């Protein structure tokens, strides 16, 4: 049971001049060999520690499962306080593997597990309305921040800490907070130890958007009854496939190479279009992984390159009625990735109600399973006929094992694309600039020079404000 990738419709022999010629792939053999070597060397040197996660989390998994069994019966909801990968990963895994209306189910239909909420923004209405929805003293709050200085997450934490201590007292409030952070550095580990909070560790060499197979993703998943061992098994299976240095036998490397060639051919948009509601939020998680990793001003030689590809989220069949018109007849600036499923977990049949109406009668007796798969195939055909590059990724079914394969596939593909582009796929200087400006505006110590820079910025011209 494994993920399948079909890239026929990305090749020129299928879609014509706008596709990739096999000769283009073969001519990049030197670049492929260089990228293969870089991936191997960096992994051996510990610079891709996320690739070892499928194999070294056994003790962490046991600790997580023991903690879940200890705490789950005493809470109504598990609440993630995090942003970026700390929120996108847990949300995507929950959407993929659990009932889509998980929080609306009675507890017995959730197997005795709590509800899940992911609070990833600081819109002032968000927390207020959340507190009006739940009993905040019956929640367990998972504060996720490697640095412990993430303004959004830590501001939420401070509000909730105060609320819990006021309502429960300081001692009882301790059991309502669990931290996921760095083992040594940062504010959060210092706070967790000082306050006596339970905490889990993010390996220091694993960055946020590659952290789903650490307690960042495993802890929320386990609190919702998800098979976290299965996720890691699937990741390990994909890792084995991704060790193959033959580009034609390594799905993640080929995915990255096709996108690399597409970028060089002017395809600066990558559309992710799942044909399953369960996989809808995979597009959100992928958008951060692809954009933040590959959107860079400088290459590794210090040259200004301004590379990257804009990820766009779509959902089949919903966005056939909103975006596909653009994909089929708009600019030739996209590569479309269809994400499908062979076997859905449920089946529902359309009744033979209006057999006397030809425009409806043909649907009678057809399952929604057949309908959604046929619509995916039809959309693939339509964009292929229009000469638009597209790739299909197919899961045999959506479960913990195949989802682990998919997430790990995208992580390896992203890192490999970074090697082909000759950039650092693991930093995010563009994000840091905005963070630093925020710190300076609030007068955080150590950011005086940035504050002076902001103060010296040109004043906006009022005549351009309508």
Quote the CA–CA distance of 126 and 235 in Å, as a whole number.
Answer: 34
- Catalytic annotation present for 368: no
Catalytic residue among 303, 321, 460, 463: 321
Quote the CA–CA distance of 296 and 435 in Å, as a whole number.
Answer: 17
Closest CA to 226 of 407, 52, 68: 68
Catalytic residue among 229, 253, 259, 292: 292
Quote the CA–CA distance of 443 and 455 in Å, as a whole number.
Answer: 12
- Catalytic annotation present for 321: yes
Closest CA to 10 of 22, 2, 23: 22
Catalytic residue among 2, 435, 450, 451: 435
The answer for 83, left when phi > 0, alpha when psi is -120 to 50, beta otherwise, is beta
| Other Cβ atoms closer than 10 A to 331 | 11
Active site residues: 292, 321, 435
């Amino acid at each position: 049971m494994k993920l399948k990738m079909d890239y026929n419709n990305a090749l020129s022999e299928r879609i014509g001049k706008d596709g990739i010629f096999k000769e283009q792939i073969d001519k990049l053999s030197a670049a492929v060999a260089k990228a293969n070597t870089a991936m191997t060397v960096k992994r051996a040197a510990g610079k891709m520690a996320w690739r070892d996660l499928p194999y070294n989390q056994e003790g962490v998994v046991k600790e997580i499962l023991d903690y879940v069994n200890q705490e789950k019966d005493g809470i109504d909801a598990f609440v993630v306080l995090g942003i970026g990968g700390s929120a996108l990963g847990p949300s995507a895994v929950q959407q993929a593997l659990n009932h889509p209306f998980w929080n609306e189910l009675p507890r017995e239909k959730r197997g005795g597990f709590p509800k899940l909420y992911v609070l990833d923004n600081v819109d002032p209405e968000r927390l207020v309305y959340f507190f009006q929805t739940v009993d905040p003293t019956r929640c367990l709050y998972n504060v996720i921040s490697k640095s412990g200085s993430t303004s959004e997450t830590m501001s939420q934490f401070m509000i909730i800490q105060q609320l819990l201590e006021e309502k429960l007292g300081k001692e009882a409030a301790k059991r309502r907070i669990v931290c996921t952070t760095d083992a040594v550095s940062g504010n959060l580990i210092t706070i967790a130890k000082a306050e006596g909070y339970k905490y889990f560790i993010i390996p220091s060499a694993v960055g946020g958007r590659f952290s789903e197979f650490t307690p960042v993703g495993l802890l929320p998943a386990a609190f919702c009854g998800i098979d976290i061992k299965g996720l890691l098994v699937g990741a390990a299976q994909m890792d084995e496939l991704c060790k193959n240095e033959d580009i034609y036998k390594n799905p993640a490397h080929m995915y990255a190479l096709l996108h690399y060639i597409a970028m060089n051919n002017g395809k600066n948009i990558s559309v992710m279009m799942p044909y399953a509601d369960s996989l809808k939020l995979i597009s959100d998680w992928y958008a951060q992984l692809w954009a933040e990793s590959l959107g860079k001003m400088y290459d590794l030689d210090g040259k200004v390159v301004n590379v990257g590809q804009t990820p766009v989220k779509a959902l089949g069949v919903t966005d056939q009625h909103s975006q596909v018109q653009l994909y089929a007849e708009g600019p030739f600036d996209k590569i479309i990735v269809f994400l499908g499923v062979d076997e859905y977990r449920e089946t529902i049949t359309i009744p033979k109600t209006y057999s006397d109406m030809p425009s409806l009668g043909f649907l009678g007796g057809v399952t929604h399973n057949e309908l959604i798969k046929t619509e995916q195939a039809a959309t693939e055909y339509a964009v292929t006929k229009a000469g638009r590059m597209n790739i299909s990724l197919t899961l045999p079914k959506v479960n913990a094992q195949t989802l682990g394969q998919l997430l790990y596939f995208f992580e390896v593909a992203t890192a490999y694309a970074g090697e082909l582009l000759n950039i650092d796929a693991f930093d995010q200087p563009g994000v840091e600039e905005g963070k630093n400006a925020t710190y300076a505006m609030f007068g955080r110590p150590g950011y005086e020079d940035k504050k002076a820079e902001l103060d010296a910025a040109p004043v906006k011209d009022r005549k351009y404000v309508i």
